[in-house]
Amino acid sequence: MENINDPVWVVAEQTGGDLRTISLQLVGKARQLADQLGTPLEVVLLGKNSNLNSDLLIASGADTVFTGDFAELAFYQPDLYTEMIVSLAKNRKPGIMLMGSTDIGRELAPLVAARLQTGLTAHCIDLVIAGNKILEQKIPAYGGLITITCPQKRPQMATVAKGVFQKPELDRNRTGTTISLDLPDDLPERIRTIEIIREEPEGIPLESASIVVAGGVGACDAEGWHKISALAKTLKAALGATRPAVDAGWTELESMIGQSGKMVSPDLYIGAGLSGEQQHMVGITNAKIMVAVNNDAGSPVFEQVDYGVVDDCREFIPVLIDKIKQYQKGA
């Protein structure tokens, strides 16, 4: 086991030259972990023009930023990223390594973990330093939370979804070190990314929405789901869903909130026709006000929200929409 002075690491990501929000959120949390352990925080950022984001990462809490600013890294290259991160990790020996639970992170993290022969916990919703200096990695499972630790191997690796942690306050007076990495002499050629085509999401992104309206199987059918969707549009809110609503074909997988979906931190959350199963509710973090509409007064969702309405969401929502529109006209 490595000693506790080994650095905490974040493997950051950028898109089109801009740092991804999840990376800044991870740096904020990693700063807290590093301070608790008395270790430095190091960030690895690969990609063309990555040097331009070094100051932002330092202002967010990084002590050292390792960048790979090469044209060959204009697009994510799984083999090359793995080779560079593993090589650097063997030299720096991080005690903790965090990545975003993104399309890239979900592929890259297990590749790196396998090469370093260490453990990996995916889709964590909290990270805590235990009294014995071990990282407790908390994930939703079995209707609750379970804690996973990796006491024998290093680094302790975890992926975290966007929205679980808050972005740190920037301190432009912080100082740090930026170190440019070298490309390997023999570039891995097994897989190469030639082009990335991104689809712009429709509507308001769930992760950044201040108001979220989520629907469940209580919508009963496509017509009922349309009413929930109409409420979201009326409130200019993001539309979320539970797994059963997605499985029913009423909405897309991208709208799913929860253990296997997205994390949201809205000012206002409205759940319509859902029971409050932990697999969904775990995806709602730091919501300021939570409201539920369900026709079953005994539904567990009412134990988890601030306000509850016992009614059929298909009957209640049209009335609510009318009242909102009246208020909007008066305003």
DSSP string, 106-117: HHHHHHHHHHHT
∠ CA 266-267-273, rounded to 5°:
65
Rounded Cα distance, 281 and 86, in Å? 36
Angle between helices 222-234 and 313-330 (to 10 degrees): 20
CATH superfamily of 206-330: TPP-binding domain (3.40.50.1220)
**pLDDT digit of tens for each residue in the chain (331 aa)?**
344 468 999 999 998 888 999 999 999 999 999 999 999 999 999 999 998 999 999 999 999 999 999 888 888 888 899 999 999 999 999 999 999 988 899 999 999 999 999 999 998 888 999 878 899 898 876 656 788 888 888 999 999 988 788 889 999 999 999 999 988 877 767 777 777 777 666 667 888 889 999 999 888 888 989 999 999 999 999 999 998 888 888 988 888 988 778 888 899 999 999 988 888 888 888 889 999 999 999 898 998 899 999 999 999 999 999 999 988 887 6
Strands 177-180 and 64-68: parallel
pTM (2 decimals)? 0.78
Same CATH fold assignment for domains 8-180 and 206-330: yes
The domain ranges of the chain are 8-180, 206-330
Q: Which of 207, 1, 39 is nearest to 10 (CA)?
A: 39
- 125 DSSP assignment: S
State whether CATH 1.10.600.10 applies to domain 8-180: no
- How many CA atoms, within 13 angstroms, populate the side-chain half-sphere of residue 82? 21
